[in-house]
Amino acid sequence: MSELTISIPPVLRQWVDRRVAEGPHADAADYLRDLVRRDRDDAAVGHAWSKGMIEQGRRSGFVEAEPEAVLAAIIAEDPDLRD
């Protein structure tokens, strides 16, 4: 494993210490490794979700109407969106 040294303000260090005391992590390094892994996993899921949404949009076709007309039609269909 490689080492990484970081500096954090005291308030964040207190937060890390509390989280370690409350949870399943052995120490601050274990807690931070877990956060980085979760962030990596969330980023992968978010990227896949975004790609899927873009593809869904492409498959849905294009609307020739002006954006204002599209919004007006959406608002007209849903009474909760009206002023």
Residue spans per domain, the chain: 29-81
How do residues 16-71 score in pLDDT, each as one tens digit? 999 999 989 999 999 999 999 999 998 888 888 888 899 999 999 888 999 999 98
Q: How many residues does the chain have?
A: 83
DSSP for 14-52, please give it: HHHHHHHHHSS-SSHHHHHHHHHHHHHHHHHHHHHHHHH
Entry pTM = 0.57
